[in-house]
A and B are shown apart, each in its own frame.
Chain A
Amino acid sequence: MDITWYIVLSAFIFAIGVAGVLSRRNPLVILLCLELMLNAGNLALIGFSRMWGNGDGQVFALIVMVVAACEVTIGLGLIVALYRRRIPIDVDEVAELRG
C-alpha cells in the first residue's frame, strides 16, 4: 500500500488531537487528545519504517509510547492533586502563572 494513505490518516488524527487540545477545557480530555497526537506521530513513524524496510522507526515508536505512559502518569497525578485541593477540573481556572 502506498505510504500516502498512512501519512494522510496520521495527519487527520493529529489534527483531531490538536483541535481537542486547543478547544477542550477538561484536562482529562486534553490528555486524551495529546495521546491522539502522539499516536498519530507513531503511525507516521511506523509507516515510514515500513517504507524503508528497516526497524529504526519502530524503535522510535516504542520510545514515544514509553514517554506517553510517563506523561499520562504525571498528567493524571496533576488532576488528582487538583481534585484533592478542590480546584475546579478546568485548565482555564489554573492560570496562576500569568505574568
Chain B
Amino acid sequence: MSATTAAWLVLALPLAGTIVISVFWKLLPGRTAGWIGTGAIFGSFVFALLALADLQDHAEEERQLTSNLFDYVNTAGVKAGMGILVDPLSVMVILVVTGVSALIHLYSVAYMDSDEGYRRYFAYLNFFVFSMLLLVLGGNLVVLIIGWAFVGFASYALISFWYRRRTATKAGMKAFVINVVGDVGLVLAAFLLFRDSGALDYEGVFRGAQDVYTINDGTLIAACCLLLVGAFAKSAQIPLHTWLADAMEGPTPVSALIHAATMVTAGVYLIARTHPLFELAPAAADIGAIIGLLTLIMAGTIALVVTDLKRIIAYSTISQIGYMVVGVSTFAHVAGLFHLMTHAFFKALLFMGAGSVISAMGVGGDASIDKMGGFRKAMPFTFITFTIGALALAAFPLTSGFFSKDAILAFDWERGGGYRVITVLGFLAALITALYAFRMVFRVFFGEPVPAARELEEGHVHHEPPHNPGTGEPEDTDVGYPGPDHAIAERAWPMKAAMSVLAFLSLIGGIALVPGVTKTLEEFLHPSFEDSKFAEMVPSAGTEWTFGAVGAVVSLAGIAMAYMIWMRRPGLSARLVERFPRVHAFLANKWYWDELYDYGVVRPMSAFGNFGRGVIETRFVQDTIIGGAVGIVRVGTSFARSVQSGYLRAYALLLLMGMFGLALYFLIVSS
C-alpha cells in the first residue's frame, strides 16, 4: 500500500467512526459505541504505521508525497484541492496523534462508562481525531484551515460536553471565541501568502515566498505574525492562553487528549510546518521564541499555586508547550517535535492519573488538592503511573522528558548570542516544573489519608451527591455525568492498560534521540527540515550531555525542594503564602489575565453592545425609523381607514352610492 493511500485511510477511519456512532447511536447498547470509536482509532494508528513503513522505503529526497482527492476550487488563478501531504513531519505527528488518541479512547471506554452521553462522547471524540488528522495531513493552506476550524469546534463541543453545567458551557464559549481569534489570524496569513506567492499548497507557497520576499520583508513578517496568532490561540500561549485552564471543565480524558496531547500542539506543528517562512522572517520567529519563553515561565509560576489538580496540569501544559514553541521558533525543529511527542505521552498519563484520583474523590469529586492526600496505599497503580508521569514532566534523568527538554535548551545554547538567555531561563523554568510536578505527587498521594482514601482502602469508593466542584451547585445528571459508578484505574482494565502503555512510553520515549547514541528521530525528520539553515546545527554529544547534567541537577534540586516544602516541613508553604501574600495573590489569580480581558475587552464590548441595543436599536432604529415610518403611514391613511368599517352593509351602501353617482353623472352629461 502506498503511503498516500494509507494516509487517506488514516483520515477515513475516524470519520467513519463518527458517522457510524452518530447515525446508529440508538442501536449501540452498552459499551459498543466506545469499542467502535476505539477500534476506528486503533485502525487509524495501524495505517499510520503502514504509511511510515512505505515512506521509509522511498529514497530520502522523495519523501514528500502529495495526493489530491478532488479539486475544491480551480478558478481564476485559485487552485486548491482536497489534498494531503505525507512527509516525515506529518507522519510523525499523525503517529503521535493516533497512538495517544487510541489509548485515550481505550481509557474512556471505562472512564465514561456510566455517563448518559456515552455515545455522543465517542462521536465527538472520533470527530476530533478526524479533524486533527486533517489539520496535520492537509497538503495546502485551505485544508489546514478547515482542519483548524473543525478542531476548534470539536474542542468546544467536548469542553461543553456536560452542557447542563453552566461553568462548562461558559468555558466552551471562551475556548471557541479565543480559537476563532486564532482562526482569523490564520486565514489572514493565508490571504497574504496567497496574494504574494500565488499558491496555496505548501511547496508553492514556500517557493513563491523565496522568490518574492527578501529576508525580514515587512509583509512576510506580518504574515508570520498572523500565523503565530493562529498558533498561539490553539497552543494557549500569551496572550491567548486563558481558555486552556477553563477547558478543564470537560471530561478528564478530553483534557488528556485535546488539551494536553494533541490539539494544543497544533500551533507547534504549524510553526514547524511553515519553517521556511519563519527562516525568511527571523524577526517573527524571535517574537515567537520570546512569547514562548514568557509563557513557559508564567504558566509554571501559576502551576505552583493553583489548587485544582486538573488546572495544575493544564498550566503545566501551557508551560511545556512554551518549550515546544521556543524550540520550533528558534529552529530547533527536531528537538521541539521530540518534546511534542514525549509531552504527549507523559501529559496524557498525568491527566489519566488525575481522572482516576478525581473519581476516587466521589462523583463530581473535588479536584482540589487541598482536599486530597494519602492516596498512595489506596491507589497503588495510579500512584506509580502518576509518579512516572511526574518524573518525566520534571525531566528526571533518563526519562523521556529529560532528553527532549534538554535537546531544546542545548540547541539554543549552541545558537549562541541572545538565545543563550533562553537556555538559562529554560532551566529556571525546569526547576519550577519539577517543583509543581512533585507538589502534585506529594500533596495527592502522601500525607495523612483523607476520608475518601480511607474508604477506598476498605474497598469501596467514596460517594457524594453530584455537585459542580467549581460552584457547588447540585448537578443535573440527565445528560451525562461520570457516575454513579466510579471509574478508577485500579478497577477498570482498559484504563489500566492505557496508563501502563503511556507510563512505559514516558519512561523510555527518550531513546528516539539519546545524544551520542541514537539519532532515530533526527534522521527520520531530516527530509522535512533539510532546507533549513539550521539543519546541520546539532550540538555535539558532549555539549548535550553537559546540559543533560545541568538538567539532571536542576530536576533533582526541584524535586528535593518540593520534598522539603511539602513533606519534611508541612506548613512551610502556608508560611510562604503568609510571608508573601501579594505574590501569592498575583499568582493565584493567574497574573490577572482573566481580569485584564474582563475589563479590557469583555466589559467594553458588552457596554458597547448594551449601548447599541438600548440606544441605537431601541431609540433610533425601533422608535425613530420604524416608529416614524409607521406614524407617517398611519396619519396619511386615517381617512381611508375610517371608511373600512368592516360592516358589510356599509360597503354595500357605498357601492350603491357610487353606482348611482356614476349613473347620475352620465345622465347629466348625456342630457
Contacts and interface: CB of A to CB of B under 8 A. Distances in A.
Given A18-B656, A22-B653, A91 B648 contact: yes
Nearest to B659: A18
Interface string B624-655: 00000000000001001111111111001100
Instruction: Describe B's contact surface by its main secondary structure.
Output: helix
Interface in A29-50: 30
A99 B643 contact: yes
B653 to A, nearest CB: 6
B647 A95 contact: yes
A99 B642 contact: yes
A99 B648 contact: no
Interface residues of B, number: 14
Contact of B647 (A18, A23, A91): A91
Contacts of A18: 656
Interface in A78-99: 91-92, 94-99
B225 to A, nearest CB: 63
A21 interface: yes
Interface string A42-72: 0000000000000000000000000000000
A63 B552 CA distance: 110
Contacts of B640: 99
B652 A97 contact: no
B644 A99 contact: yes
B648 A94 contact: yes
Contacts of B648: 30, 91-92, 94-95
Q: Which of A25, A91, A96, A99 has the most CB of B within 10 A?
A: A99
A95 B645 contact: yes
B646 A95 contact: yes
Contact of B649 (A21, A96, A97, A98): A21
A92 B647 CA distance: 6
Nearest to B638: A99
Nearest to B642: A99
A97 B653 contact: no
Contact of B641 (A21, A22, A94, A99): A99
Contacts of A22: 649, 652-653, 656
Nearest to B644: A99
A92 to B, nearest CB: 6
Contacts of B647: 91-92, 95
B646 A96 contact: yes
B644 A21 contact: no
Contacts of A30: 648
Contacts of A96: 646
Contacts of B643: 99
A22 B649 CA distance: 5
Interface in B485-533: none
Contacts of A97: 644, 646
A21 B302 CA distance: 89
B187 to A, nearest CB: 53
A98 B652 contact: no
A91 B646 CA distance: 9
Given A97-B644, A99-B640, A99-B644, A91 B649 contact: yes
A25 B637 CA distance: 29
A97 B640 CA distance: 13
B648 to A, nearest CB: 4
B649 A92 contact: yes
B545 to A, nearest CB: 94
A98 B653 CA distance: 16
Nearest to A21: B652
B17 to A, nearest CB: 56
A98 B656 contact: no
Nearest to B641: A99
Interface in B405-427: none
A66 to B, nearest CB: 22
Interface in B168-195: none
Interface string A1-43: 0000000000000000010011101000010000000000000
A91 B649 CA distance: 8
A99 B647 CA distance: 11
A21 B642 CA distance: 22
B136 to A, nearest CB: 65
A90 to B, nearest CB: 10
A53 B652 CA distance: 35
Nearest to A95: B646
Contacts of B642: 99
A25 B653 CA distance: 13
Contacts of B644: 97-99
A92 B646 CA distance: 8
Contacts of B646: 94-99
Contacts of A98: 644-646
Interface in B385-437: none
B497 to A, nearest CB: 71
Contacts of B641: 99
A97 B644 CA distance: 7
A24 to B, nearest CB: 8
A10 to B, nearest CB: 15
Nearest to A25: B649
Nearest to A18: B656
Contacts of B649: 21-23, 25, 91-92
Nearest to A94: B648
Nearest to B640: A99
Contacts of B637: 99
Contacts of B645: 95, 98-99
Nearest to A34: B652
Q: Which of B637, B640, B647, B656 has the most CB of A within 10 A?
A: B647
Contacts of A95: 645-648
A19 B158 CA distance: 77
Contacts of A21: 649, 652
A44 to B, nearest CB: 14
The 5 nearest A-B residue pairs measured at CB? A99-B644, A95-B646, A98-B646, A99-B641, A91-B648
28 contacts: A18-B656, A21-B649, A21-B652, A22-B649, A22-B652, A22-B656, A23-B649, A91-B647, A91-B648, A91-B649, A92-B647, A92-B648, A92-B649, A94-B646, A94-B648, A95-B645, A95-B646, A96-B646, A97-B644, A97-B646, A98-B645, A99-B640, A99-B641, A99-B642, A99-B643, A99-B644, A99-B645, A99-B646
Given A96-B646, A99-B640, 8 more contacts: A18-B656, A21-B649, A23-B649, A95-B646, A98-B644, A98-B646, A99-B643, A99-B644
